[in-house]
Structures are given as C-alpha cells and as structure tokens.
Structure 1
C-alpha cells in the first residue's frame, strides 16, 4: 500500500490571503458622492459615480413651503460646484438677485440663478424631520433621503473614493428605493 503524503501549504500563503482580503475590503477605489455622519468617516449612504457627475438637492423651504432645487456637479478636483439655484418665492432666506458673474432669470413662475460657480470641498446638511423632505435627484430620478438616512441627522456631503467595507456598511441610495 502506498503512503499518500499530504503537503501543507507554504507558511507564507495564509498571510498573503489575509493581505489580499484586507486590500479588497479596505482600499478605496469607488468614486461616490457620500453622505457621512457628521464630520466622521462613517458613510451612511452614497451615490456611486461613473459617467454622470451632476446631482441636485431638492427640499421644501420651511417658511414659504415651496420647493427649492440646488444643482451641483463634481469637478475634476473632486470638489462640489453649485451651478444653479431654482426657487418659487422671494421669502426669507432666498436671494433676490444674482451675484457677480451669475444670471438671474424668471420663467414659468420660478426664479433661477444660473452660471453659479460656487465650489465646496463638502457641505453639511441636517436632514429634515418635519417639512423639508430632502431629496437627491440623480440621473433624472428623485431619491428621498429619509429612506436612507434618519430624519434629523447631520450629514456631510462630499465626493470621495470609498472601499468595499464602506459600501457594505452604507446604503447605496440608487438601490434603496
């Protein structure tokens, strides 16, 4: 009868497997618009980016109770540029005119400030509990933030590469509705 020898895997194989798993889980590679909890690294929700780099934030103004739409795009430097503002009322908190280099328009009962060039590394938002009903508009579709983020939560919105672990722990807004 022949003896069958079982060979043990080389000692370096186990650490290599662990290193590979760590790289796959923790190296950021997926560019996304992220909604992180306050100013921590905890990703609550995200929108993966590929070809489309524009998005809008829509909310109901707390005083005049009409919709406001802020339009943004991701720059090549991974910053957020506001390029347009749309609203329906000059009430408290809304601009009455455009700043230098911007255009003010009135069309179909709405007011627009166009050609904005306001660049932000991030912006903070407290999601509305009562009236605001914050929504993200991406690729022409509205996604209510209340379905992904607890109302009343302070989030920091920025563009960042995220890793597989963050994707697993956060909510992909595009898949959550």
Structure 2
C-alpha cells in the first residue's frame, strides 16, 4: 500500500458519510402528518403529492352515524376543508350551510359543500370508544392502528426528511 493513500480513503469516506447524513436530514417529502402536539412521539404519515385530497371519517358519539370531513392541500400547503357529509341533524351537526357554502340533501345524507375553511393544521382526538376515526386516502385506514386511542394529534402537511420517515409509520405501507 502506498504511503498516504489509506488516510485519503478514510478522508473521502468520512466526507461521504457526512454528506449522506446531511442529505438524510433535509426535509424533502411532502406528507400528511399525524403527531401528538409538543411531542417527539413516533409520527404516522402519508406521503403525498401536490393537490392532495383526504377525508377523515368517524362515527358520531350521539347519533352513531358516520360523519365524513373532506380536505385538500392548498397551494401554500395549508389544509382546506371543502365538504362535510353527515346523516343526522342531532346535537353537534350543522342545520344549514354558512355564507358562500352550499347545503344539499342526497340519498338520505346531508352535504355542506363549497367550504373554504383553511387551517395551517388542526387537532384531532382519536376516539377511544365509538368514533373509530379513519383517514381515507384512496382507501380507509383506521387511525387507532397507528395512534393510541384517546391521543390528540396535530394533523398538518409537512415535509419530512428520510430520518423522520424512517422513524415514523407510513400509513400506506402498514396494512
């Protein structure tokens, strides 16, 4: 072995590992993230692309029928609720649409459409008894499979690094 060659190899290897570590820590993958607020607990996430749409479906605790809230990602990566679907006017459900929104009744269900409610994030408490919260992203995924029932999670669009994705749970891959 030539003198000085081995230390040069080590220097290149260390440099490569440093670059790899930096690259793995850069948030690049836009995702829909479910994480307890103010916590470093394991995240559950869905990798997404632009114009992502998702729904949260749950069973209402009083009238025991399904409620579906429809959301999409805005151009500035916020969450816009654009539709609400439910079956009963009982406690906790709206009896009409707000200003600029559209109220409809179709096939025994009520819909409020044309909603433009925009949030940087929202908090969701995963039901312990009846709610059975599910996220719908092409198909239904029960959130209690990834998040302990009774836990409050912050729901937001956020870019994740390779490290964050590696430590978290990809909801789409864990069925």
TM-score (norm 2): 0.93
Describe the superposition over 1:6-26 as per-residue Cα deviations: whole angstroms up to 9, x where unpaired.
621326424412321222321
Unmatched segments (≥5 aa) in structure 2:
none
Shift of 1:43: 4.9
Which residue number corresponds to residue 142 of structure 1?
140
The root-mean-square deviation of aligned C-alpha atoms, in Å, is: 1.6
More helix by share: 2
Could you tell me which of 152, 160, 163 is aligned with 1:165?
163
Q: Following superposition, which runs of at least 4 residues in structure 1 exceed 3 angstroms of deviation?
A: 39-43
Q: How does 1:94-173 map to 2 (within 5 A)?
A: 94-139=93-138, 141-173=139-171
Shift of 1:152: 1.1
TM-score (norm 1): 0.92
Aligned residues: 173
Shift of 1:51: 5.3
Q: Is the 8 A contact 1:75 1:81 kept in 2?
A: yes
Q: Provide the secondary structure at the position in 1 that maps to 2:20.
A: helix
Please state if 1:5 is matched with 2:13.
Answer: no
